[in-house]
A and B are shown apart, each in its own frame.
Chain A
Amino acid sequence: MNVLEADFTAPRGDLVLEASLTVQRGETVALVGPNGAGKSSILHVLTGLVPISSGSVMMDSVFWDDAPKDVHIPTHRRDLAVLFQDLRLFPHLNVRDNIAFGLRARGRLEQDISSQVDEVLERFELISKGRSRPKELSGGEQQLVALARAVVCRPSLLLLDEPTASLDNSMRPKVRRILRDVLADQSRANLIVTHEPVDALNLADRVIVVEGGRSGENGPIEEIARRPHSRYAASFVGLNLLRGQLSLAGDHAEVKTELGPLYVADPAIDEGSEVACVFHPNAVTLGIGPPASSARNVFPLEVVAVYAMGGRVRIDLGSLTAEVTPSAVDELGLRAGTQVWASVKATQIEVY
């Protein structure tokens, strides 16, 4: 059963948010997308801090926002909690009082508050920090306090905005472990904003891709990894994606992409359809001059950046990413600004 059902548009600066999403009880959904895509703004709408212009937000069959009827439940009356990207711990309160803030706002008894705060401090490994002010803590500890402050209220909807982004590498495993523990609680609907594929894979049951203010692809991450539909979703799972219109000419099929015609194996799809052409970076071969081989998909491109990835090296070519061996990088002298010829075999391109 869906707990959260949101389908709305909202103005947000020069962007118009157009989001449609549902989250079930016990489910964790990750909103992924490039910077500035509107992921955090979607959270702000759900929180009630940004008004919607059309559509509705419904939680547990109650309208939080209903634009046609001018319904807008104020933030403090929504049964939710937020881990803000910038944490927003109260600087004038110590860790205990920060964590107790939501419980006090809900009018709980002081003795219950105290025992619940003790419990969460222990669970989050913060016992010795109760009397510290936020600024006396490390970044990772502050992150945990903010998470504890949100979780201790037992909200029906938990919104986490980039929960691991600001962490240093030493804290990340600990925060991820605690996050996974928190998200295992089946009584709640969870929505995470992240740009970390690892978090989407480890923490979320389902992924929704947000681009240009719109929510798009939606499904388990394995499904998106197998068949991404947007450039971002493809790069998120480490694949190349080029879109274009399919045309058939005699023995071969061809897709008009931004790079030019891309020859592909006949996909048995109607001519004229918009298709996605997806291929792994290791299907891209690089050379300094035009290849002598029979490869027909050859594009002259400039290297934008070079990244080490495990034992391989990824070459960012703007519209494409190639994966090569470190020795190939040396042989070809690849670095930002190098002109290369990238070729892709038609048989290694999946079209759908």
Chain B
Amino acid sequence: MLNFLQRLGRSTRTSFAKLGRGTLFLVCTLAGITYVLPRPGLLLKQMYSVGVLTFLIVTISGLFVGMVLGLQGFNILSDFGSEEALGIMVAASLVRELGPVVSALLFAGRAGSALTAEIGLMKATEQLSGMEMMAVDPIKRIISPRFYAGFLSMPLLAALFSTIGILGGHLVGVGLLGVDDGSYWSQMQANLDFYDDIVNGAIKSVVFGFAATWIALFEGYDAIPTSEGVSRSTTRTVVNSAFAILGLDFILTALMFGDN
């Protein structure tokens, strides 16, 4: 029993210590903007590896999610004879929830784990240490550009996901199942609000991007510099990002859509 309490105490302490380190790390990373801004090339390169390489998986997933929504939505809505509401159903679920959440989860799986592994391996091969000895702050040089790239890419990826998804839903609903093209779009436009839905969805994806990139970079930076440590950190990135994204999603949804 005492042993259990001891262990509980120790793990609580280490998690708080980790949170503290993580916060400090975040502050340093954010401060790195002074280094990144004069060197847009660094940001560009990371936008490539974070954004462009996630582009494909996000668009393809978006297409399929939209198509499935179109199919499922049609089956349910046709029971009530309101197939014309398919557009609003597909668009609302994508813009409010699935777009930001699923693209963030994909982002964490594709880009986040890659970031963790990359930073962790740089640590293991003494590249970060070497940089420090060359009087270059690795947080500014390595971490910050990646952070801002992830943070900027995320809302774009989410918007792409939703867009492609809506088109996918259109493809199935209108193209295959014969829902009226006009009502698909007009129901959507009549019921989705720019501020309530689109902007809130974008805010969600910004928050998710922030959280997922932070977790990925910190796990890499904090990794035990061995191959086992890096692989464990990579796993933790995916798991923790998923928790963070879904937890934040609940909080944000309650804040944004709770009052009406």
Q: Do A and B bind each other?
A: no
Q: Show the binding face of B for A, using Cβ within 8 Å.
A: none
A binding-site residues for B, Cβ under 8 Å: none
